[in-house]
Amino acid sequence: MKIGVVIDAPCDLPRSFIDQHGIEVLPVRVKFGDRTFIDDRNEQSTMDFYRYYLEHKDIVAETEPLSVEEFRDLFLDQYVLKYDHVLVITVMSSRSPIFEHATKASFAILSGYKERRQKAGIEGAFSLRVIDSKSLFTGQGVIVHEALRMLEQDNLTFDQLRPKVDEFTQYVHAYLVPEDLVYVRTRARARGDRSVSWLGYQLGTMLDIKPILQAYRGETGPVDKVKGFDKAVKQMFEMAATEIKRGLRANVVCMSYAGNPDVIRQNPDYQSFVKYAHANKVETLLSVMSITAGINMGPGAFAIGFAAQE
């Protein structure tokens, strides 16, 4: 029995971790002016995107996830022949149609997968389950990390895995802070979201006020405002350190940066946090923030995710 774990491109995990564990990635198309980027966790193309975005702040970008038909063809052409069971973990359904499209495609393959497997000489049934992470970006990364741990250490069957992962999503917190509010406001206006007002944007820019945003149980919203990006990032590290002290549900903290991760690695607060986490036997993963996340948060944004007890 071979089980495959599939993520979508917004899931923030290092490419090295993805390759090491054989994780499959569902791509997202990004239309940016007259250019098109493919968000598939390729670090080089992601860095190219951020360099371009810094030079063209006013261009409105649009994401285009795979259609139901494209998901169906991908499942039938690749995963049906490569795995016996597939677990797909998507970005929260309230912010993206990826979960809906993947779920519809999972039903659409029921009448076609048997013939594909028989022609390839593969015996046995195939099953595919789609889970709404109810989280964003680094929060997804924590969920995928724990799903892999369950498979490797708890020896769960595929039928046991899905409800365990689904339950785990209830405890995952993801926090994000933008470095430049112009990207957040431009993206919000393009989506018809008036939550970032002109006055709030102007005051935030003049006073260097940064909102800390939270994704939790399928909902997103601001939880605090901090003067200065570095102070906001430091506060996020302190929040994570507090939960490590209390005891995490999974011994991992995922982080991502919309740009070169070395910028964060050189941050003294990051270095202190990583030292503290490792001293408490908590793994830390730092990745380049996905293009999809970067469109919404802008270059220079930072995100952190972990699973708390409460």
- Check whether residue 134 and residue 212 sit in a common domain: no
Q: Is the pLDDT of residue 166 over 60?
A: yes
Note whether 94 and 183 are same-domain residues.
no
Task: Specify the CATH number for the domain of residue 248.
Answer: 3.30.1180.10
Asked if residue 152 and residue 41 are part of one domain, the reply reads yes
* Closest alpha carbon to 138 in 234, 236, 222, 57: 236
Claim to verify: residue 203 and residue 66 sit in the same structural domain: no
Closest C-alpha among 41, 17, 281 to residue 142:
17
Among 169, 204, 231, the domain-final residue is 169
pLDDT of residue 202: 47
pLDDT: which is higher, 100 or 37: 100
Given a cut of 60, is residue 144 above it in pLDDT? yes
pLDDT score at 74: 94
- Tell me the average pLDDT across 293-305: 91
Residue with structure tokens 């993947």? Answer: 102
User: What are the Cα distances from residue 255, in Å, to 24, 138, 280?
Assistant: 20, 6, 17
Do 178 and 154 have their domain in common?
Answer: no
Same domain, 160 and 245: no
Q: Is the pLDDT of residue 197 over 60?
A: no
- Is the domain of 95 the same as that of 33? yes
Identify whether the C-beta of residue 255 lies closer than 8 Å to the C-beta of residue 237: no
> Are residues 33 and 163 part of one domain?
yes
160 and 182 co-located in one domain: no
Out of 149, 169, 189, a domain closes at 169
- Give the pair of three-digit tokens for residue 53: 């975005």
pLDDT tens digits, residue range 167-188? Answer: 999 999 999 999 877 656 555 5
Pairing of strands 127-132, 172-177: unpaired
CA 239 to CA 276: how far, in whole Å? 13
| pLDDT number for residue 187 | 55
Number of structural domains (the chain) is 2
SS3 for the chain is: CCEEEEEECCCCCCHHHHHHCCCEEECEEEEECCEEEEECCCHHHHHHHHHHHHHCCCCCEEEEECCHHHHHHHHHHHHHHHCCEEEEEECCCCCCCHHHHHHHHHHHCCCCHHHHHHHCCCCCCCEEEEEECCCCCHHHHHHHHHHHHHHHHCCCCHHHHHHHHHHHHHHEEEEEECCCHHHHHHHHHHCCCCCCCHHHHHHHHHHCEEEEEEEECCEEEEEEEEECHHHHHHHHHHHHHHHHHHCCCCCEEEEEECCCCHHHHCCHHHHHHHHHHHHCCCEEEEEECCHHHHHHHCCCCEEEEEECCC
Q: How far apart are CA 217 and CA 97, in angstroms?
A: 17
Give 228's Cβ-side CA count (13 Å radius). 4
Beta bridge partners of 253: 284
Backbone angles phi, psi at 118, to 5 degrees: -65, -45
Pick the residue with more confidence: 234 or 36? 234
Identify the bridge partners of residue 132 per DSSP, sorted by sequence position: 90
- 19 residue type, one letter: D
Residues 151 and 177 in one domain: no
When the pLDDT of each residue in the chain is averaged and rounded to a whole number, the result is 89
Same domain, 105 and 238: no
Q: Which domain holds residue 101?
A: 3-169
| CATH classification of the domain holding 8 | 3.40.50.10170
Within this chain, do residues 73 and 113 fall inside the same structural domain, yes or no? yes
Q: Pick from 169, 198, 221: which residue ends a domain?
A: 169
